Amino acid sequence: MTARIVYLPGDGVGPEVGAAALTVLRHTADIFALDIAVEEHVFGGAAIDAAGSPFPDETRNAVSEADAVLLGAIGGPKWDKGAGDKRPERGLLDMRKALGVWANLRPIKPHPRTSAAAPVKAERLAGVDILFVRELTGGLYFGEKGRDADSAFDTCAYSRTEIERVVARAVDYARGRRKRVTSVDKANVLDTSRLWREVVEEAAAANPDIEFESVLVDAAAMHLISDPRRFDVVVTENLFGDILTDEASVLLGSLGLAPSASVGDGSGGVFEPIHGSAPDIAGTGKANPVGMILSAALMLRYALHAPEAADAIERGVEKTLNDGVLTAELGGQARTGEVADAIRANIDEKATVSG
């Protein structure tokens, strides 16, 4: 059966890193005899310009019928002053809600070749392997909100069910890793966090094979820099997860190396790098495509049930970084397409060795 992938290039560097990822994805699909069909639609700022909405009906219908969504990047100064429903980010929130994706997975595993670019001592990065599981459809981003000329409010709300399902997902992932879950909250101040911690304590009692700890978000932010090896699976709410995962990306040496997967109850999802649209370097060939390429690997693993193909891409990325094929922010000179070509060649090499 053909796997239908909807590709949303988005804005800024999105189309550039997206094209690089599609090159690697199609090549990998050929090697592993995967039947995929990719169709492109507008989204984000590009969709506002073309259709007056960041998430137009045609795109909404396409993603609702897709087996997976591969997204480049959205946003930029051009649309920053638009009304709330005319901003690119509104389209992303609406798409997550429409697709029912409620867990955002962000793996953080520094590579020795890029550690020199991280503002953390290399010895602190050795052995770091973190999987963030961020709740994606609750909290401040989706609560009731409003403003007038002199005040504004955003409501943070969570139900027990929303917390239970994301904590259960974190436990599932931890069971296949080092069996340790760190829950991040602000239970000394927030009622939502006190409910969150109650649910985590119940999950700990029900899963005695998993080691649990609860850490306040400010302490977690400190530990991510001072002792990142202490973390295995980190589960947290929407806003905290957004901030902490961007902080954690500096451990990689570049925001451009970090992938993500947004998944729900089914097997589909939205797969995108965590970086923004970087309009300042759009069109220059300087954008790092690794985060986007690794997001395609996550798509193969979590949505298309092709773990061997996902492994092949990840090994190709690892060898490419080992070989020093790096973009400018990592101290290299490789351009976006050159990195993609090197990864593609390294997938060939791995396929030959294993086959």
The alpha carbon of 315 is separated from its chain's Cα centroid by a whole number of angstroms, namely 19
Q: Which mean pLDDT values do the consecutive 10-residue runs of the chain (355 residues) have?
A: 96 98 98 97 97 96 97 94 80 92 96 90 93 96 93 97 98 97 98 98 98 98 96 98 94 95 92 95 97 98 96 97 96 97 88 46
CB 288 within 8 A of CB 342: no
DSSP one-letter code for 282: T
DSSP track, 118-143? SSS-HHHHTT--EEEEEE-SSGGGTS
The alpha carbon of 136 is separated from its chain's Cα centroid by a whole number of angstroms, namely 11
The superfamily in CATH containing domain 119-252 is Isopropylmalate Dehydrogenase (3.40.718.10)
Pick among 3.40.718.10, 3.40.50.10490, 3.40.50.150, 3.30.70.2740: CATH of 1-101+255-355: 3.40.718.10
Going from N- to C-terminal start, the domains of the chain cover 1-101+255-355, 119-252
The model's pLDDT over 194-216, given as tens digits with 9 standing for 90+, comes to 999 999 999 999 999 999 999 99
Q: Which pLDDT does position 305 carry in this prediction?
A: 95
Examine domains 1-101+255-355 and 119-252 and report if their fold is the same.
yes
Compute φ and ψ for 73, nearest 5 degrees: -160, 155
Q: In what order do the strands lie in the sheet with 270-273?
A: 36-40, 3-10, 68-73, 270-273, 259-264, 101-108, 130-135, 233-236, 180-185, 211-216
Q: Which pLDDT does position 349 carry in this prediction?
A: 65
Question: Which residues are designated catalytic?
Answer: 141, 186, 218, 242, 246
In angstroms, the Cα distances linking 301 to 32, 172, 247 are 13, 15, 25
Q: Which pLDDT does position 348 carry in this prediction?
A: 79
Q: Which pLDDT does position 8 carry in this prediction?
A: 98
Q: Which pLDDT does position 83 carry in this prediction?
A: 65
Q: Which pLDDT does position 41 carry in this prediction?
A: 98
CB 3 within 8 A of CB 38: no
CB 36 within 8 A of CB 29: yes
Q: What is the pTM of this model?
A: 0.92
Q: Which pLDDT does position 111 carry in this prediction?
A: 92
